[in-house]
């Protein structure tokens, strides 16, 4: 698979596929945001965003965090080009829930910034993002939001009629800034009774080009070059799945694997070998009579390993194996009241062996009951959500490290949310969400005790941590008139006992000591996005506008919290005419000087980007050719939300100028 040398940018990015069959495929609806919309309402009460098709293609990067970075309210943890998680409204780590088709993603990416998320944007058909309190349907740990990456590895709807058919996609691409080469192939077939799916992808990259010369001590690499040292990668994956359809639903299964070998960028001679396998079952019964209209469920099992290699020798080995179960039932309407109730259960078993084992073996078991209800009114809708959980976090010690001893904690978090949508006028809507959320501390927050080189700190857990409690208020206004639209939202999130990694002033193992401590904290912010149709007709020209601002502070000390993105604003011109389309845009980030005492600030920067796309049809295939130019002015920029800005200052700027050429073909 490593020799398969063309780039998969996004599976499912062609708007329609030509099918070799005697009859056309069953029509499908355009993708919509569904993660926070279990009742299928036309308008969402909670702040949300979704990317699919050509829009996803033209923003897809090598990691999930970088793909979503720049969306109002979302930044990236950016541990170089190979590992990053989304940060939503200033909250990161375990306060953001990453899902795959609604099921839990089991990895160790929230444990440490250098651990990659085990979902690659190359295999994604759609990304849905929920910001704020509506995310509690998916766990108390989702206080910041939910990112749901969706593929069609278990088909939920029949793709064809009784005559059957076959469809597929091929994706090819090359990029200059990181010498990217790779590719992917997807094939689906079946009829109205069954569907089969298979996909495979591979991508290799070299060290990433940047606007200044950086030193590098990696053997075989130039001592000084305009590249991020040790930033090359090799990622590949494959999956097979299928579903059987019947008159009132479906049942399906899938098996998928993902492998990635990449440099850590913080250390010149350390590379990581990551592998993840997932097995999933899903099904749904619809059109039921009686108390419930429909019932759906999914079950997943994941096996994750992350090995750190130092100069070619295997060092620390991290493992995380987990199971996740989710059952959801939509009840019959009770007058104007519609809703779902559900059960969710997750188990995970974590271990770390080696010099950087800063947390013990552990096991976490959690189960939850949740409900989400909507009441239709003459002026809009009201929503109510509640979640009750039972969480048991257990340290299993470590047979080779005496300082880790067995211990356990049990928590019973409860979370509630109230929302409303008011149709003020035909073109105007007001929304509001109020939530109270409790989050159980994670295993490493409770039991860590060791050197963590990714943070350049000796981390100490606190086994006496209490539930993290937060109150969140979100207010929004939305206007839409034809192609014109505007959305503005404001939020405040107050934590009574935010779990923060705070410096103690001591040292251990020649590293500064940091301990998990509970503090009072407040996050406030604004988000805005809009579109103005400047020209309509055979040629269309739109101006997209976006911006956000977040401030996070320890209210006991008045100190800012670390790794908060600065105020940002952006604009993009979009032109389309027939088969052609083009974009030209700029994203500006202000200087971030609002940082904790002793930490480094970051300067302001502006990144320009452009793209050109052309659609055509030849024979039995639809083709989409595209060119994308990132950071066209080759600006030097550093991410304020990346820990590397503090722990490896200057080593990992954002990527410099890069041209990407690609082709997607569907048949």
pLDDT at 5 over 70: no
CA 401 – CA 354 distance, rounded (Å): 10
* pLDDT, position 82: 93
- Average pLDDT on 239-257 reads 96
- Average pLDDT on 43-68 reads 85
* pLDDT, position 134: 57
* pLDDT, position 31: 44
Choice among 25-39, 314-328, 502-516 with the minimum mean pLDDT:
25-39
The SS3 assignment for 59 reads coil
pLDDT at 20 over 50: no
* pLDDT, position 18: 31
* pLDDT, position 114: 86
Mean pLDDT (the chain, rounded): 90
**Phi (first) and psi of residue 94, to 5 degrees:** -80, 0
Pick 592 or 100 by higher pLDDT.
592
- Average pLDDT on 520-546 reads 96
CA 104 – CA 108 distance, rounded (Å): 12
- Average pLDDT on 189-202 reads 95
CA 644 – CA 266 distance, rounded (Å): 7
Ranges of each domain in the chain: 48-666
pLDDT at 666 over 70: yes
pLDDT at 231 over 80: yes
CA 467 – CA 648 distance, rounded (Å): 33
* pLDDT, position 36: 65
Choice among 87-101, 111-125, 310-324, 348-362 with the minimum mean pLDDT:
111-125
* pLDDT, position 14: 30
- Average pLDDT on 383-391 reads 94
Percentage with pLDDT > 90 across the chain = 74
pLDDT at 360 over 80: yes
Residue among 305, 193, 205, 321 nearest 265 (CA): 205
**402-441 pLDDT, tens per residue?**
999 999 999 999 999 999 999 999 999 999 999 999 999 9
- Burial class from Cβ neighbours inside 10 Å (0-12, 13-18, 19+) for residue 399 reads exposed
pLDDT at 34 over 70: no
CA 160 – CA 448 distance, rounded (Å): 52
- Average pLDDT on 226-240 reads 96
Q: Which CATH number fits domain 48-666: 3.40.190.10, 1.10.150.120, 3.40.50.720, 2.40.170.20?
A: 2.40.170.20
**445-463 pLDDT, tens per residue?**
999 999 987 778 899 999 9
pLDDT at 19 over 50: no
- Burial class from Cβ neighbours inside 10 Å (0-12, 13-18, 19+) for residue 666 reads buried
pLDDT at 121 over 80: no
**Phi (first) and psi of residue 155, to 5 degrees:** -60, 130
* pLDDT, position 33: 52
pLDDT at 118 over 90: no
* pLDDT, position 181: 94
* pLDDT, position 201: 93
CA 515 – CA 483 distance, rounded (Å): 51
42: confidence class by pLDDT, cuts 50, 70, 90: low
- Average pLDDT on 313-335 reads 93
The answer to whether 637 and 615 have CB atoms below 8 angstroms apart is: no
């Amino acid at each position: 698979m490593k020799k398969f040398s063309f780039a998969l940018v996004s599976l499912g990015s062609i708007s329609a596929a030509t099918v070799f069959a005697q009859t056309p495929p069953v029509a499908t609806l355009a993708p919509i945001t569904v993660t926070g919309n279990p009742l299928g309402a036309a308008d969402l009460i909670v702040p949300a965003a979704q990317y699919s098709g050509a829009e996803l293609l033209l923003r897809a990067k090598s990691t999930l965090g970088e793909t979503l970075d720049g969306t109002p309210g979302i930044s990236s943890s950016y541990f170089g080009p190979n590992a990053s998680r989304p940060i939503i409204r200033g909250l990161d780590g375990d306060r953001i829930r990453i899902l795959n088709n609604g099921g839990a993603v089991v990895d160790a990416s929230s444990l440490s910034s250098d651990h990659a998320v085990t979902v690659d944007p190359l295999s994604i058909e759609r990304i849905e993002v929920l910001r704020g309190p509506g995310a509690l349907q998916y766990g108390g740990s989702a206080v910041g939001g939910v990112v749901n990456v969706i593929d069609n590895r278990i088909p939920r709807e029949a793709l064809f009629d009784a005559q059957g058919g076959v469809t597929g996609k091929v994706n090819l691409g090359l990029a200059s800034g990181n010498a990217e080469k790779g590719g992917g192939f997807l094939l689906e077939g079946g009829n109205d009774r069954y569907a089969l799916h298979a996909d495979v992808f591979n991508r290799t990259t070299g060290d990433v080009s940047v606007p200044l010369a950086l030193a590098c001590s990696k053997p075989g690499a130039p001592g000084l070059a305009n590249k991020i040292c040790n930033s090359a990668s090799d990622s590949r994956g494959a999956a097979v799945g299928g579903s059987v359809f019947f008159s009132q639903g479906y049942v399906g299964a899938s098996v998928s694997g993902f492998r990635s070998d990449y440099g850590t960028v913080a250390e010149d001679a350390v590379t990581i070998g990551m592998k993840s396998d997932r097995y999933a079952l899903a099904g749904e019964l619809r059109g039921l009579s009686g108390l419930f209209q429909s019932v759906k469920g999914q079950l997943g099992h994941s096996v994750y390993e992350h090995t750190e290699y130092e100069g070619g020798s295997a060092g620390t080995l991290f493992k995380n194996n987990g199971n996740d179960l989710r059952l959801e039932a939509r009840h019959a309407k009770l007058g104007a009241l519609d809703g779902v109730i559900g059960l969710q259960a997750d188990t995970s078993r974590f271990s770390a062996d080696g010099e950087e084992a800063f947390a013990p073996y552990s096991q976490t078991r959690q189960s939850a009951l949740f409900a989400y209800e909507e009441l239709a009114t003459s002026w809009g809708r009201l929503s109510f959500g509640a979640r009750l959980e039972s969480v048991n976090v257990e340290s299993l010690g470590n047979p080779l490290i005496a300082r880790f001893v067995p211990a356990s904690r049990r928590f019973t978090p409860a979370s509630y949310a109230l929302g409303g949508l008011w149709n003020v006028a035909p073109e105007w809507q007001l929304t509001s969400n109020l939530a109270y959320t409790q989050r159980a501390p994670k295993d490493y927050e409770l039991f860590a005790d060791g050197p963590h080189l990714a943070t350049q700190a000796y981390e100490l857990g606190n086994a006496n941590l209490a539930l993290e409690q937060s109150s969140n208020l979100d207010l929004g206004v939305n206007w839409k008139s034809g192609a014109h639209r505007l959305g503005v939202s404001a939020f405040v999130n107050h934590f009574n006992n935010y779990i923060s990694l705070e410096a103690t002033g001591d040292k251990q193992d020649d590293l500064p000591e940091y301990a998990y401590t509970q503090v009072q904290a407040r996050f406030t912010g604004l988000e805005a996005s809009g579109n103005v149709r400047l020209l309509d007709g055979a040629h269309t020209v739109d101006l997209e506008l976006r911006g956000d601002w977040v401030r996070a502070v320890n209210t006991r000390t008045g100190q800012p919290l670390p790794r908060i993105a600065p105020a940002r604003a952006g604009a993009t011109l979009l032109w389309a005419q027939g088969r052609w389309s083009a974009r030209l845009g700029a994203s500006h980030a202000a200087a971030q000087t609002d940082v904790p005492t002793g930490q480094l600030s970051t300067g302001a920067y502006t990144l320009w980007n452009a793209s050109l796309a052309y659609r055509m049809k030849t024979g039995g295939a639809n083709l989409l050719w595209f060119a994308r130019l990132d950071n066209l002015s080759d600006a030097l920029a550093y991410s304020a939300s990346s820990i590397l800005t503090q722990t490896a200052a200057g080593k990992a700027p954002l990527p410099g100028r890069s041209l990407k050429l690609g082709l997607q073909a569907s048949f």
